[in-house]
Amino acid sequence: MDSLHDLGGKQGFSRVKFPSEPHDETWEPLIRALSAWALRNHIYNMDEFRHAIERMAPRYYISAPYFERHLTAVATLMVEKGLTTAEELEELAGGDFPLSAPIGPGRIAAPAQSFAIGETVRVKNEYVPGHFRMPGYIRGKTGTVVSISPPYPYPDAAAHNMQTTMEPTYDVRFRARDLWPDSCDDAMNHVGVFQSYLEKVEPA
């Protein structure tokens, strides 16, 4: 889904500011521990977790600190999995407890082509309503396969708790000037792209 979380390659956000004082929040390790417990016990998977963050209201997402986004995702998934309710969370919080928007449709992987190292490929120009792991700035762009990873669960299905297949990601090398014409140095960018997101480029 195209939402505010996909900030990669976007301009205008200036430099990252680091805090001048040590950061010492006692609740942040608890959120990490709770999420690790839920993953270890197969209450949800990493793609479901990522998609719960993507489903946050845009205004809330952009203003929330890193671990508050994690808290929102964990709480949302706990409600959706029936382990608690929004009312119970609001009672514990003593007021409003924002959760992510309801989950939409996912998709299973279509039969996909395989690719070889050195092959020229194009990222499919797709717009998906559910979760997917394709940065918007490479959509429709052409690059070269330089390596291949072991298979992982297909995220478009896994994030929606659907039966999923395993497929590799390809390390695709793009020319920066093909991604951001006249707005970048002459460099190369490498992106891990799932097999189903790619298509062959036929020789001219």
Q: How confident is the model at residue 16 (pLDDT cuts 50, 70, 90)?
A: low
Q: How far is CA 31 from the centre of its chain?
A: 19
Q: Is the domain of 10 the same as that of 78?
A: yes
Q: Would 114 be classed as within a structural domain?
A: no
Q: Is the domain of 97 the same as that of 40?
A: yes
Mean pLDDT, the chain, whole residue set: 90
Q: Is the domain of 131 the same as that of 179?
A: yes
Q: Is the domain of 12 the same as that of 44?
A: yes
Q: What CATH number did the domain enclosing 187 receive?
A: 2.30.30.50
pLDDT for res 185 = 82
The token duo for 147 is 């390596």
Q: Average pLDDT in the 69-96 region? A: 96
Q: How confident is the model at residue 11 (pLDDT cuts 50, 70, 90)?
A: low
How many other β-carbons are positioned within 10 Å of the β-carbon of residue 180?
Answer: 14
* pLDDT single digits (tens) 154-178: 999 999 999 999 999 999 999 999 9
CA distances from 23 to 14, 36, 173 (A): 22, 22, 37
Q: Is the domain of 177 the same as that of 94?
A: no
Domain limit, last residue, from 66, 101, 136: 101
Distance CA 138, CA 172 (A): 10
Q: Is the domain of 35 the same as that of 91?
A: yes
Q: Would 67 be classed as within a structural domain?
A: yes
Q: Would 109 be classed as within a structural domain?
A: no
The token duo for 89 is 């969370």
Give the chain's domain count: 2
Burial code of 81-96, b = ≥16 C-beta within 10 A, e = fewer? Answer: eeeeeeeebeeeeeee
Domain limit, last residue, from 49, 73, 101: 101
Q: Is the domain of 84 the same as that of 28?
A: yes
The length of the chain, given as a count of residues:
204
Q: Which residues pair with 190 in a beta bridge?
A: 173
Q: What CATH number did the domain enclosing 55 receive?
A: 1.10.472.20
pLDDT for res 169 = 96
What is the phi/psi pair of residue 189, to 5°? -120, 135
14 residue type, one letter: S
Q: Is the domain of 90 the same as that of 177?
A: no
Q: Is the pLDDT of residue 4 over 70?
A: no
Alpha helices in the chain (DSSP H): 28-40, 46-54, 58-63, 66-80, 86-93, 155-158, 176-179
Domain limit, last residue, from 67, 101, 135: 101
Distance CA 144, CA 178 (A): 12
Range of the domain at 29: 1-101
The token duo for 195 is 């097999």
Q: Is the pLDDT of residue 6 over 60?
A: no
Q: Is the domain of 124 the same as that of 77?
A: no
Q: Is the domain of 96 the same as that of 124?
A: no
Q: Is the pLDDT of residue 15 over 90?
A: no
Q: Is the domain of 64 the same as that of 145?
A: no
Q: How confident is the model at residue 23 (pLDDT cuts 50, 70, 90)?
A: low
How many helices (H) and strands (E) the chain has is answered by: 7, 7
